[in-house]
Amino acid sequence: MKPSDWKILNRKVRFGDCDSAGVIHFHNLLRWSHESWEESIEIYGIPYQEVFPDLSERINKIIFPIVNCEANFFSPIKVGNFLEIKILPKKINNHLFQVNSLFMKNEIKVAEGKLIHCSIDFESKEKVQLPDQLEKWIESCNLNDHCQEC
C-alpha cells in the first residue's frame, strides 16, 4: 500500500446526481467530498466505526461536525463523467482539521471542495483533541509515494 491508494479515489457521475441542466446538482459535490474522505479513511485502514460511530449505541464518542464548507466549480461535471478525486487533509489546530478535495476529469481540474471539521465530544459537546488515528491518516496523506518507501 502506498499513499496514492488512499489519496486518489474515483467516482462516476450518476443520472440522479444531475439537475435539469444536465450537470451535477451543486451540493452533491460537497456530499462527494465527505464520502471521499470516508472512503480514504477505510482504505488507509482505520475501522469505519472509530471515526463515524453509530451514535444510537450511546457509547462515549467523538463527532466531527462541519463548521465551514466551500466548493468551486471550474468546468461542467456531466452525467456519465468519470472523475478522479485527490484528497488533501491538513490539521489546523488541536481540534480542527480541513479536507480539500480536487476533482479531475481527463487530467483537468473541474471542481474543488473544502470541508473544515471540528472534533467534539458527543456527550459534553466540548472540543476535544483530534484522535491519534485521524492525525496519522492526515500525516500519511501528506507524504508522497516515494517518501513513504524510504
The nearest distance, CB 51 to its own copies, in angstroms, is 9
CB atoms within 10 A of CB 10: 11
Of positions 67, 94, 129, 145, contacts its own copies by CB under 8 A: 67
* Residues between 70 and 89 that touch its own copies (CB under 8 A): 70-73, 76, 78-80
Residue from the set 9, 28, 105, 134 that interacts with its own copies by CB under 8 A: 28
Active site residue 19: yes
User: Pairing between strand 62-63 and 8-12?
Assistant: unpaired
By CB under 8 A, the residues from 114 to 133 that bind its own copies are 115, 122
Residue 42 makes contact with its own copies by CB under 8 A: yes
CA dist., res. 141 & res. 113, Å (int): 16
Whether 73 and 111 have beta carbons less than 8 Å apart is answered as yes
Q: Which residue has the cell 450518476?
A: 14
Q: How many CB atoms lie under 10 A from the CB of residue 39?
A: 17
Nearest residue (CB) to its own copies, 92 versus 147: 92
- Catalytic entry in 5, 17, 19, 132: 19
Choices 11-19, 102-110, 129-137, 138-146; region in contact with its own copies by CB under 8 A: 11-19
- Kindly list the distances between the CA atom of residue 125 and the CA atoms of 1, 62, 75, 97, 114, in Å, as whole numbers in the listed order: 36, 9, 40, 17, 24
What is the bridge-based pairing of β-strands 108-118 and 82-91?
unpaired
Could you list the residues that contact its own copies (CB under 8 A)? 12, 14-16, 18-23, 25-28, 30-31, 34-35, 38-39, 42, 48-49, 52-58, 63, 65-73, 76, 78-80, 115, 122
As annotated, the active-site residues are 19
